Structure 1
Amino acid sequence: MNCELKKLSPDDGRDIYDMLQKLPKDENGFTNGCSGLTYEEFKKWLVKNNNMSNGIGIEEWMVPQNNYWLFIDGIPVGMGKLRHYLTDKLRKDGGHIGYSILLDYRNKGYGKILLKMLIDCAKDMKIDRLLLMVHNHNVTSIKTALANDGIIEKVDSKCHFIWIENKY
């Protein structure tokens, strides 16, 4: 099995578009901003999100964020987001990392692979602690975070707050 993580590019094409149309619009707090867009709107979305990863055109309350695609044997099967840093608001509702795997590819260990790759990207960015906020009912993602050396800091009525120490 060949696993590859690719950072969003304005040149991404139909394979990424088709994958994003299959991901839910909003599931367990992970928002797919591309859901329901036309292909032309998707191309504009790519440019906007590429700019956002560089801090260009983001609103005051936002932080730069990179988007990544997980490819398994050349097929895009998932998406991950990595915020460069957290604000006080994102420490309470958001965290550093979000990810989603296409329904047909779940329960194959790809979420664990994707999270590990996102942690490695954070390491390259010198982010030493990562917060994941996982909805309480999302047992699979809680297990995935714990399998990637996550430590549960607290649990509230909505989420598990899981920190991952990122030694670089």
Structure 2
Amino acid sequence: MTAPRLIVPDASLHASWVESFAEWPDPQDHHGDGLLLAGDLDLRVRADFSEWVRRLIEDEVRPRPGLVTATNRWLVDASGYLGSGQLRHHLGTDYLRDRGGHIGYSVRPSARGNGYAHVILQGMLHEGRIRGLGRVMVSCLADNAASAATIRRAGGVLCDEDDQPGLLRFWISLN
């Protein structure tokens, strides 16, 4: 089996991604996967999925109205899609400043417990350094102990808890 690696989203992973999506009890639990860019596309349809992948790649240089530029990466191994990460290049919306942060990531349920979230987060931190960011905000739900531990392991320092209980915000220095 090949070691997991971060790649630019790839339409050839359609079947694996669809299998992953079916594992999620609530599609709203996806963080850092760029589903907002899918709009009204049906990602089960190969052509729509390919269009979404094109949008994810284009998002790095030309974001859609109301969104910020973002780098999207997928974690894959020989078995296929394992998860995703997204680095938002700046906190240019109220939602990102208040809740979303610079980085979002998710690991498909069947692949959890293998350290993949750490791999994705480290990759997104590297992307942030490449883009000259000095620090990034990463948030998670307070009841997601695994994500909070992943963020702390990467150097995250808790800055506050949201006014709406249950959201933790961390800052990670990239210097």
Matched position secondary structure for 2:148:
helix
Q: Which residue of 2 aligns with 1:21?
A: 21
Cα gap change, 1:114 to 1:40, in 2 (>3 Å): same
Instruction: State the identity as a percent.
Output: 21
Establish whether residue 40 from structure 1 lines up as the match of residue 47 from structure 2.
Answer: yes
Q: Could you say if the C-alpha distance between residues 32 and 80 of structure 1 is closer, same or farther in structure 2, counting changes exceeding 3 Å?
A: same
The 2-side partners of 1:99 and 1:146 are apart by 15
Which secondary structure state, in structure 1, belongs to the residue aligned with residue 97 of structure 2? helix
Greater strand content:
1
Report the secondary structure of 1:26's partner residue.
helix
Q: 1:19 to 1:96 in 2, by over 3 A?
A: farther
Residue deviations 1:37-86, cap 9 Å, x none? 22211111112222222124x11x31011210112356321111110111
Q: TM-score, normalised by structure 2?
A: 0.82
The answer as to whether partners of 2:20 and 2:81 remain within 8 angstroms in 1 is no
Q: Residues 85-119 of structure 1: CA distance to partner in whole angstroms, max 9, x if unpaired?
A: 11251111210111111111101111111111111
Q: Could you say what secondary structure the match of 2:133 adopts?
A: coil
Structure 1 residues 45 and 103, CA gap change in structure 2 (3 angstroms) = same
Q: With the length of structure 1 as denominator, give the TM-score of the two structures.
A: 0.85
Instruction: Return 5+ residue gaps in structure 2 as ranges.
Output: none
The structure where helix makes up a greater share of residues is 2
User: Once superposed, what is the RMSD of the aligned Cα atoms?
Assistant: 2.4
Give the 3-state SS of the residue equivalent to 1:79 in structure 2: strand
- The answer to whether residue 139 in structure 2 is matched with residue 133 in structure 1 is yes
Please give the secondary structure, in 2, of the residue aligned with 1:120. helix
Q: How does 1:49-60 map to 2 (within 5 A)?
A: 49-56=56-63, 58-59=64-65
SS at match of 1:2: coil
What is the rounded CA distance, in whole Å, between the counterparts of 1:88 and 1:107 in structure 2? 32
Deviation at 1:22, TM superposition (A): 3.7
Aligned pairs, number? 164
Matches within 5 A, 1:1-168: 2-9=3-10, 12-15=12-15, 17-18=17-18, 21-22=21-22, 24=24, 25-27=27-29, 33=35, 37=43, 38-56=45-63, 58-59=64-65, 61-73=66-78, 75-87=80-92, 89=94, 90-156=96-162, 157-167=165-175
Aligned partner letter, 2:98 = K
